[in-house]
Amino acid sequence: MSEQNPKKLNRLLANLGDSTLVTSRWLRQHGYASNLVARYVASGWLTSPARGVYLRAGGHLSWPSVVRALQDGERLAMHVGGRFALAWHGHEHYLRLGSAATVTLYGPDTLPGWVSKLQLDERFIHCGKGPFAFPAELFFENGAVGLAEGSLRKAGLERLSHESTVDGLVFATPERALLELCGAPVNAALIYEVDALMQGMANLRPKRLEYLLQHCTSIKAKRIFLALAERHAHDWLSHISLAGVNLGRGKRGLIPGGRLHPTYQITLPVDLDEQLG
């Protein structure tokens, strides 16, 4: 090994934390050619939990390290949202048993193939961009790796802090995450789940919700959200103006044999009260 390579190795190891996951592309961009990386692996300095991704030897692989690699390392416009974000925000007791072990990711970019090859208890599902069409550029500010905080908050996203394992990761706020869940393929089980969640959503922020409803592209998601919010008579609902919210026209038969909601014209299961227990 040349005199220069030990310096490069030390610099790399100093930059890699105990759970930092990096890709071949990231390493190439930082001056580490594939043959040099292969030498580091053979010498036991790096390990490769899946083809094309690397950890420092002895490092700990976790779902936050995967999300961090996607968001910060690969700079993908992709956030943790929907069901998993709601669970992380403390609503897991309302969710279907076992669902919290699936990390639900949203965004316009594509999930790399190596994610599914990792040996983790959690699995990852990319749910597409979800019911929103905010531009991917809001994730980045002037081409820098740093996330545009103001744009994130406006779009119902936030970078978490005060928790070492997820510090700096971008999650959907509860308002956005619940609308994302409402945009999932509909069946009775989903309506029961969202209804149970909505029952506990007494502290949502009306101004943020109003903006998100205005920019939500899914008529179905908006109608489900509003119908169930009305059902639970939350105070924040009266502070939301629907003047700029497109709710479409006509009836939507979401649940076969369901009861038609008089305001939002969607069919909901007739046994919602029984499901709440």
pLDDT class of 243 with cuts at 50, 70, 90:
very high
* Alpha-carbon span 126 to 110, nearest angstrom: 8
Residue 201 above 70 pLDDT? yes
Q: Which pLDDT tens digit goes with each residue over 36-95?
A: 999 999 999 999 999 999 999 999 999 999 999 999 999 998 999 999 999 998 887 655
Do 83 and 102 touch, CB atoms closer than 8 A?
Answer: yes
Beta pairing class for 123-126 and 102-106: parallel
List beta partners, residue 123: 102
Query: Which pLDDT score is estimated for 144?
Result: 43
Q: Which pLDDT tens digit goes with each residue over 151-176?
A: 788 889 999 887 778 889 999 999 99
pLDDT class of 15 with cuts at 50, 70, 90:
confident
Q: How many CB atoms lie within 10 A of CB 178?
A: 31
C-alpha radius of gyration, the chain, whole number: 22
User: Cα–Cα–Cα angle for 190, 192, 196, nearest 5°?
Assistant: 115
Q: Which two tokens stand for residue 96?
A: 């279907």
Q: Which pLDDT tens digit goes with each residue over 122-141?
A: 999 999 999 998 776 666 55
* Alpha-carbon span 158 to 141, nearest angstrom: 15
Which residue ranges make up each domain of the chain? Answer: 4-56, 63-175, 183-276
Residue 4 above 60 pLDDT? no
- Cα distances (angstroms) measured from residue 163 to each of 83, 129, 156: 20, 26, 20
* Alpha-carbon span 125 to 210, nearest angstrom: 28
Query: Which pLDDT score is estimated for 142?
Result: 44
Q: How many CB atoms lie within 10 A of CB 190?
A: 18
Share of the chain above pLDDT 70, in %: 89
Helix (H, G, I), strand (E, B) or coil at 111: coil
